[in-house]
Amino acid sequence: MQSRSEATRSNILEAAYRLFSENGYLATSVADICSVAKVSKGAFYHHFPTKQAVFLALLNQWLTMLDSSFKELLRHHQNIPDAIVGMAAMTGEAFQSADVRLSIMLEFWTQAVRDPAIWQAAIAPYHNYQAYFTQLMEQGIAQNAIRPVNPISAARCLEALAIGLMMQAVFEPDAANWPQELVQSIHFLFEGLLKKEMT
């Protein structure tokens, strides 16, 4: 059962996500969030110092859920290429909400780039995933499942592919089955990365 403080924090996050989705990040004020969450500004600032902090908390929520799914998948797939394809297959929810979440992120990043401290916090997840996928590539190479390529470059290719397809999903949401497109694209990528005897 949530404590009163936890419930207040959750209400603020839910209200912020709703308002960011409906009106955009820039058009949403702290006063708007407080009104929808039915909390005072004092209660808001007790939990979050700024509107930017609310966005970063939402971003961390989304990424924590994704991380948990990835970890669970790795427990069942010892083969790294299979695990990465499985991760791609699990991103359906991310694509379904990409039009909302990515549009919010683009607005936020446009503002965050003007503040070095906020910018570093905003791009930290990108660096974390780059390190994570680099580690997976290193494991795949050690398994002799992936050719001995530069693991950092391979990880960047994966990130670029995923981000690029999510952007396409925002621009043309009905143009394709985007989760399937991602899985197929990962297969294309691995045709070049897999050891010959694995293809």
**Residue 176's domain is classified under what CATH number?**
1.10.357.10
CB 183 within 8 A of CB 134: no
Residues 54 and 4 in one domain: no
Residues 30 and 103 in one domain: no
**Separation CA 84–CA 65 (nearest Å):** 17
Residues 93 and 190 in one domain: yes
Q: What is the CATH number of the domain that holds 32?
A: 1.10.10.60
Residues 1 and 72 in one domain: no
18-41 average pLDDT score: 93
Q: Does residue 47 carry a pLDDT above 60?
A: yes
Residues 107 and 162 in one domain: yes
Burial class (CB in 10 A: 0-12, 13-18, 19+), 148: exposed
Dump pLDDT digits (tens) for 94-132.
Answer: 666 555 666 777 777 777 788 887 888 888 888 999 999
pLDDT for the residue numbered 199: 46
Dump pLDDT digits (tens) for 154-195.
Answer: 999 998 998 888 888 778 878 888 888 888 998 888 888 776
> In terms of Cα–Cα distance, which of 84, 89, 92, 86 is closest to 193?
84
Name the 3-class secondary structure at 2.
coil
Residue for token digits 């908390």?
A: 57
Share of the chain above pLDDT 70, in %: 91
Q: What's the number of CA atoms in the CB half-sphere (13 Å) around residue 97? A: 13
- For the chain, the domain total comes to 2
Residues 56 and 139 in one domain: yes
pLDDT category, 59, cuts 50, 70, 90? confident
Residues 75 and 23 in one domain: no
**Separation CA 112–CA 164 (nearest Å):** 21
**Separation CA 148–CA 142 (nearest Å):** 9
Residues 29 and 123 in one domain: no
**Separation CA 184–CA 170 (nearest Å):** 19
Q: Does residue 70 carry a pLDDT above 70?
A: yes
The packing angle between helices 51-76 and 80-89, to 10°, is 130
CB 8 within 8 A of CB 39: yes
Q: What amino acid occupies position 193?
A: L
Residues contacting residue 26 through CB under 8 Å, at least 6 positions apart: 107, 111
Residues 37 and 125 in one domain: no
Dump pLDDT digits (tens) for 7-27.
Answer: 999 999 999 999 998 888 889
Whole domain around residue 10: which residue ranges? 1-48
pLDDT for the residue numbered 14: 95
Residues 6 and 33 in one domain: yes
pLDDT for the residue numbered 180: 86
Residues 66 and 130 in one domain: yes
Q: Phi/psi at 118 (nearest 5 deg)?
A: -70, -40
